[in-house]
Structure formats: structure tokens, C-alpha cells
Amino acid sequence: MDTLGTAVVTGYAAKGDMQQAVPTQQLTSAQMQQMGVSDIGGALQRLSGLQLRDYGGAGGLKTVSARGLGAAHTVVAYDGLALGDARQGQTDLSRFNTEYLDGLTLSIADVPNLLCPVRNLGAALLEMHPQQTDSTRRLSGRAGINVGSFGAVAPSLRLQGKCTDRVTLGLSSHFYRADNNYPFILQNGKIITHETRDHSHMQAYTVQGDLSATDQAGGKWQMLLFYNNDDRELPGQVMYYTQKGTEQLDEQRAFAQLRQERRWNDWKWMCAAKFSFSESLYDDTNPQYPTGALQQNYWQREWYATTGVMRTFRRFSAAYAADYTHTSLNSNQSAAPRAKRHSLQQALSLRYTHRVLTATARVLAYDDWNSYPVGEAAQNAHHISPTADVTVHLVSWHKDAEHWGRLRARVLYKESYRVPTFSETYYYHLGTQRLRPELARQTGAGLTLQAQPAPWWQNLEVSADAYFNHVRDRISAIPYNLYVWQTVNMGRVNIWGTDVTLHSTFRPAERHLLLLHTNYSWQKATDRTDPTSRSYGKQPAYMPQHTLGASLAWENPWANLSISLTALSERWSTNEHAAGTLLPAYAEWGVGAYREVKLPRGVRLNLRADVLNLFNKQYEIVRRYPMPGRHWKVGATIDF
Amino acid sequence: MKTKFSRFATRISVALVIMSALVACDESDGFQDGAAPNPQPRQEMAYVVNQGSMYSGIAGSLDAFSLTDGTYSNSIFSATNQQSLGDSPQAGVAYGSRLYIAVFGSNLVWAIDRDTWQIAAQITTTAPEGICAADGAVYVTNNDGYVTRIDTTTLQAEARLAVGPNPAHLTAADGHLYISISDGYNYNGGYANGCRVAKVRLSDFTKVGDIMVGVNPGPIVADGAGRVFVVARGNYADILPQVYQIQPDGTATVLCEGSDVAVAGENLYVMNQVTDWSVVPAVNRVSYTIYDTQSGKVKQENFIPTDQQPVAPIRLIAHPTNGEIYVTSNASLTDYTSPGYVYRYAADGTFIARYDAGIAPCDIFF
């Protein structure tokens, strides 16, 4: 007789997303399976308050923006430390694959830990947790392969071994290739044609080595070496009457990082250092360019160090942390020699914890110094910004182990800056050295309910947050004339919104579980820049008012089934809502089946099959970049 | 428990089916169509090419307005033909019984009937930008370094001539084509392989030489006597745009500062636009001056009163016979995805009308 498998919890410590003082959401790999999530884009759409910008398919650029603040305000971290991108200020998340992640955590406005790297204290923090396997075994591993539509093949392997009782070593590798030539329908007035995306091939591999150690004094050491190589053809936007497809982007990124944490009585200390290098080689082969091709190559280096200390005094905790970052960017563009930026970020944090109340206050200081060998450097920035949040336990009840609940309320305020990227500052014609940092103010309040209402209703987690954000000195690119663009500080945006999540687990019968996950966001953003402009009072481009994600999984002794939905209301692709630029609402459904089979010697085989975009809905997230229609994916992983 | 679960599962299934039915209802993409407008007699019309916005995925469009009663019709191409004009059209020309529109992003030139506005031919050619007509043929510049000759009877591209990197605008005068060679993609190299106007003999479609001008030449016009004027647009930074006059001896001399030119009779209209983006909101200073094409002397300064100027001009065009002046404009300096405007002025600069055009109106032809 089959029974439901015992969950083996590995990887990062899931902290219980509803217990934090700030809006925090977590997606574990198990939840992703229940939600029918098959790629990073799908996962991001299950985090309430995030807007995904997706240029389509596995190879399409994917960036996220939290609560309408823009991608550059969202810090993306991998294994605890921020991934920097001084050139564009945003991380292309399509480089990461859910298959080698143990989970994602999204924290908005603040992070749960009082002591943390200062760079993690952005307007929002999206943390990616790299895969771990069973740490209780001497040697463990996971091997898997996924195959899908449009030529997608993705084998992966992780080996993890305990060298000693105190030292664990891991090695991961992941390969992905896909043609991405998926069909789509092009409607050009009365002419409707069936087209296929072309020039979309991609191939990527990632290699990672990690080492965890605990020294005799109890200090925890974690080292990570990461390398990712990604070559992809860029199909470009869909054009009328012609197919272009001459662009190619080859990128590689490598970083090495070392973290340490240590506790002595009431003291806690952390430090980390990281070096990262990235290369981006863009090529557009076209005889209209001087040498027959436009080649824009960029090389970025970042040295990063962070340290901090925390002390607890009864109900108070205080922490101080400082980050130093040195970033340089050079390129093959003659007008853009190596630009450098030194930045120092400091955070002083104070937390008061009482039985029914937790209050946190932080003061962040940001200073940077810029240099540029030719011409004017970017203006140096010096800013101080505060953060405060309070959580109150309103009600709790505990009848017995199967009937309990608690209700919490929270409020927060945060100011954060994002400095101009190197592209915005120095890129030929586009760049403007006199840009000021963009300021975001976040105000929010929320409620969280956690309960087990009945023995058959094992878990109910509901959170609802309302917020008001204001962005000032927004950095925007506008056309200088018909031929060139430039960046300017212009614009104020007000954003009102609510984020609601609901997770529930039912046990309708013995060995049957129903898991419901839903997230809903409402967002009303308005441009408040110039009352005479046509964009004034309108929802900015690509920002839906309503976003819904929902999934229901039925776990049973035979084959687990899941059904999922992602839906967005209509959006405009222009700030002015120009005629013909409305992107219609869409809903994408997916179904999946998964099953774990136990094999001898503790080996577990996981099988999974999904049909995505079940109703073959044609839609776009970014105008002229169609998303794939119905497609499938099957995968098998073996844990040993 | 089993019964309860079965009831629960049934409800969930019903709910999912209803949600699925609701969201499966599709709506087609918002193509803007409408009743086909009634074309007016050909000699009384002006045509406006709207570039759209490639960045925002907005196709271009073609408008028309009556020079007699001012009636303005938007998107006549798509309304007549029920399909898009294409991506990033740049310029057009009326010649014989047809209109020709160069559509850069879609790699084609449309030939449409001048009376009915219906498509006569779709002529494939790479990245066409400038367009003009002369001696029974239509000529387009291809951004990959060529000029293509289109036979106006067969409506096919019949010959292609290498002229230099990134040819932009062109004009015909005195039995020759004059083509701005911008080398516009070579901004890292200071546009060094451009800075010239290529001269092509029309009779045998042969390049006869280059005339050196300033950096990044663009708009080019000729008056009735064959005098050619070209704007060297500079580098959009420290090299300012200037107007050059091509002399009979094959050299070029600087006439004045200016970012765009138009010609009617012996009047050379010069627009000079300088925008200060360092202040918020940005300040745009635009001057409009009339020069005598024969003497090169200023005939009139500020011929368009300041309070009647467009806020964000794109192009300056003059009607070759009635002398009217047209300035196309974006909605504002920072708004590049809203419908723009066409400002219409009499030959003496008197404001006549402002028309609501399409997005980024970039050329007017007659």
C-alpha cells in the first residue's frame, strides 16, 4: 500500500512567511511543485505584489518590479548576497532556473533579520536559495532531467558530501538548451497569419560549488563559487511584414563569495565578501553597421564586502552593518571607458520585542563616489533614509493542538533610493551625468491570520496588505530627437495597492491533501508629473490593476494532480494609453501530475508532467513579444 | 468523509470550469480600423507620415488632409486597406498616380493608388529611409548603404547602387540625386565615413562623386534652380547642427546653424532647435528663419511667432507651390507615444490650423 511520503526538509530554513514583521512571502520547491510552477517566470507570478516583465519564452529577458516601484528598486540576492548590476540596475532572472533552487523569498520594504547586509535593505528583496540535498547523509545527490516543447532539454546534477562532521561540500551543474521557436498568431488588421518565433535558440549552463563549515567556536562559514554561461539568439520584437532576428547575446557571470556568522552570548556577528565578474557580448550582424555588425561588449567587476554586529539587551536588539562596494564597467564603445563607483552603505537598526509587539527602526546611510576617465563623472550621492515597522499580535487562541489561531497587524514606512545605473549615466547619447537618485517612499499596513481551524483543515494562512508608495525624481528615457534618446529625472508616481495571499491545506480524507495557494494584487498607480501631459493620472505602462495567481493541488496515494491559474487584467504598453496599445487581459491555465516513488536504500524518484497554457491562450506581457501557447514539460529527478 | 470530499471536489470542479469559460473568451488585439475615408482630388491633398514608436511596439500610420478645406483624415492606409502601414515609416512621395511610402522597420516601400489609397504594390527593400522621385522612377535610400531605384510602371526595385554608409535623406536636382551619407551608426568613430553628400547621375544611375559637408548629414532639399542645401546634424552633443549649401564647384559652405530645412521657391526655411535637458521641465528654444536661396541672406527672422510655435517640433516642411509651411510636432517634449500635431502656417508665417496627427509625425508630402 502506498502512503504519502515523508517530507524531507532540506535547504534553507523556511521561516514561516506569516510570522514576519514585514510582508514576506516564500515559495519552497515543494510549493512550486504544488503550484504547477515550471520556470522562474511562473514562480515570480506567484508572489503577490511582483510584476513580471517577460519578453517571452525561455530565452526572453525577465525582470521584476515590486509594488510598482520599478525593477531597479528590487534587490535580487543569491545565497544571501545581492547580485549587482551597475550597468542596467536590474537582474535578468531568466538566467536562473527553478530546478536548481530550493526556493524564493520576497520581502517588501524590510527584511526579517535585524542584522543583514545593508544592500539587502532595498525597497524589496527577492532572495534565491540555491539547492541543497539531504544534509544528514554522508553522500547525497540529486540527478534530474526535464524535457519540454520547443526543443527544451535540461539535465541537472547535484552531489553533496560530508567531508567531516563539520564540513559539507556540494557541487551542482545544470544545463539548458531550447530552440524556443514557438508558434503564435499575428493579427494585422484583416490579415491573420500563423507565424513562428525565429532566431530564438538558447543554450546555458551553470556550475556551482559550495562549502559549509562550522568551526569549533560555533562560527558558521559558507563559501560559494558560481559560474553561468548563457548564449542566446534574440528574436526581437515581432515586426509587420518582415522577420528580423539578427541579434545575439552571449553572457557569462561568475562570482565567489564567503560568508561567516558567529554568536557569543548576546552578540551576533556576520561578515561576507564577494567578487563578481560579468561579461555581456551583444552582436547585431547587419550590413548597416560600420563593420557589418554592431558589437556592444561590456565587462563588469564588483568587489563587495559587508560586516555587521548585533547585540541583544533584554527586549531590545541593536545592530550596525556596513557594506562597501566597488564597481567598474568598461566596454568596447570608444565613448565609454571604464566607469567606477565606490559606495558605502551603513545601517543602524534597533528592534524592540515584546510579547505582543515588535517594533523595528532603521536608519540607512548611502554614499557613493564616482569617477570617469573621460568627461564628467556621475554626481556623487549622499543620502540618509529611514525605515520603521511595527507588528502587533492582536488575537490568539489555542483550544488544542488541532484548533488554534493568531492574528497579527503590521504597519511600515520606508524610504529608499536607487542611484542611476551606468547605462543611464554614461551610455552614448542616452546617459546623463547629472541625474539624481530616484526616491521611493513606501507606507503600508497589513493583517496576517494563521490558524488551524479544524483537524481536517490543517492550515489557513491569510495575509492582506494595503500600501501607498510614492516615487520622486523617476529616471526615465525619452527621445532626444527622432534618432537618439536620453535619460532625465522627471516624474512622480503615486501607487496605491493591496496584496492578498491565501494558503490553505485541507485533509478531506486519510492520505489525501488539498493544497490551495492564491495570491491577488490590486494596484492603482498614477502619474503625477505634469497635469498638462496626457499621461497624467493614468496607470503607467505595463502595470496591471489586477493580478491573480491560484493553484490547487490534490496529493493522494496514486498520482498528485495540480491545476493552476495566472491572470492579469488589461494593461497599456504606453504611459499615455495611446490608441491601439492596450494589451488585453489574459488567463493562463496549467495542469500537472507528479508522483514520488520510493526505491530501495532511501532513493526517491520524482516524476512530473505538466501542460502549460492549457487553453492555448495567445497573450503578451510586453507588447510585440508573444508568449508561448500550449506546451508541455516532463521531468524526472532522483534523490539518493 | 468520502461523501464530504466528493461534494467538495465537485464544487471545486464546477468553479474551475466556470472560471475557465470566463477567461477563455478571447478578444482580438486592438487594430484600429474604421470606414474607409473618401479620397479627395489628388492635387488638393497633403499626406502625413507618422513614425509610430518602435520602442513601444506602435506601428506607423499615414494621414491625409485637404489643402482646400482643412479636413484631416487619420490612418488612411489602414482604414482603406484594413492592414497596418508597418513599422517605423520614415517618408513618402507622391508621383504620378501613386503615393510611395518608405517603411524602414518593415523593409518595404508601399505603392498606393493616389485616388483610392488602395495598395498597388508592396516593394521589398532593406531599411528604406529617404525617398524622392525623378525622371520616371522613385528612389529610396537603404540604411545598409545603397540607393534603390523603383520602376514606377512595374513597381519593382530594378537597380541598387552603393553610395556610402547609412544614407539618410535624398533629393533630386539638375539631373542628379544628392544623398546625405550620415554614417549614423558609426557614432563611436565620429561619423567619420559620412560627412558627405553622394552625387548620383540619374541618366545612368551612376555615382559621380562625393561632396564633403559637416558631421552626420540628414535633411536635404533643392530649390527650383537646383541649389542644394543639407543639414549636418552634428553629434547631438558638442557639434551643433549646421546648414550647408552645395556650390556649383562641388564644394559645400556653411550657411547657418539649423536642425532642419525646407524650401519653396527661393525661400529657404531653417528651423534651429536647441533643448536644455538639464533643467526640469526641459526648455526648448526654436528659431525659424527664412533665407534667400540665391543670395544666402536672411530674409526674415522669427517668421513663426513664438506663441504659435509647436512645443516639440520634429520636422519642417514647405509646400513647393503655395509656399505654406508645416511643422510636425510631438505632443510634448517628453511624450513620444501620444498622437502628435501638424501645425500649418501661411507663407508669411501666419498660423492657419493645428491638426491632430498620428504618433511622431515625421514627414509631409504633396
What is residue A17's predicted lDDT score, i.e. its pLDDT?
39
Asked if pLDDT for residue B121 goes beyond 90, the answer is yes
- Chain B residues touching A288 at Cβ < 8 A: 126-127, 143-145, 165-166, 185
Task: Name the residue facing B335 among A429, A514, A533 (closest C-beta).
Answer: A533
Note if the bond before B281 is cis, omega within 30 degrees.
yes
Q: Which residue has the cell 502506498?
A: A2
- Chain A residues touching B236 at Cβ < 8 A: 429, 480-481, 483-484
Q: Which residue has the higher pLDDT, B35 or B235?
A: B235
Which run of H or E residues covers position A411? strand A403-418
pLDDT in tens, B51-68: 999 888 899 999 999 999
Residue A528 to residue A538: CA distance in whole angstroms: 9
Residues of chain A with pLDDT under 50: 1-11, 13-19
CA distance A236 to chain B (A): 11
Q: Which amino acid does the sequence have at B259?
A: S
Residue A392 to residue B57: CA distance in whole angstroms: 48
Q: Which amino acid does the sequence have at A270?
A: M
What is residue A483's predicted lDDT score, i.e. its pLDDT?
59
Residues B180-187 have a mean pLDDT of 93
> Which among A135-149, A416-430, B21-35, B203-217 has the top mean pLDDT?
B203-217
CB pairs under 8 A between A and B: 189
pLDDT band, residue B6 (cuts 50/70/90):
very low
Residue A118 to residue A242: CA distance in whole angstroms: 48
Q: Which residue has the higher pLDDT, B9 or B316?
A: B316
Q: What is the DSSP string of A106-147?
A: EEESS-S-SS--GGG-SSEEEEEEE----TTSSEEEEEEEEE
Residue B167 to residue B189: CA distance in whole angstroms: 16
Mutation to test the A interface, candidates B337, B356, B362, B363, most A Cβ within 10 Å: B337
Asked if pLDDT for residue B25 goes beyond 50, the answer is no
- Chain A residues touching B147 at Cβ < 8 A: none
What is residue A244's predicted lDDT score, i.e. its pLDDT?
72
What is residue A532's predicted lDDT score, i.e. its pLDDT?
85
Q: Which amino acid does the sequence have at B323?
A: G
Beta carbons of B12 and A552 less than 8 Å apart: yes
Residue A116 to residue A83: CA distance in whole angstroms: 15
Q: Which letter does DSSP use for residue B165 in this model?
A: S
* Nearest-by-CA chain A residue for B186: A290
Asked if pLDDT for residue B331 goes beyond 50, the answer is yes
What is residue B327's predicted lDDT score, i.e. its pLDDT?
97
Q: Which amino acid does the sequence have at A279?
A: E
Asked if pLDDT for residue B358 goes beyond 70, the answer is yes
In this prediction the pTM is 0.88
What is residue A435's predicted lDDT score, i.e. its pLDDT?
84
Task: Name the residue facing B277 among A486, A541, A624 (closest C-beta).
Answer: A486
* Nearest-by-CA chain B residue for A433: B278
pLDDT in tens, B242-300: 999 998 888 999 999 999 999 999 999 999 998 877 676 778 889 999 999 999 999 99
B245 Cβ contact partners less than 8 Å away, ≥ 6 residues apart: B227, B228, B229, B252, B253, B255, B296
Q: Is A138 exposed, middle or buried (0-12, 13-18, 19+ CB in 10 A)?
A: exposed
SS3 of residue B2 by DSSP? helix
Task: Name the residue facing B144 among A288, A335, A482 (closest C-beta).
Answer: A288
CA distance A624 to chain B (A): 6
What is residue A95's predicted lDDT score, i.e. its pLDDT?
83
Query: Interface pTM (ipTM) of the complex?
Result: 0.84
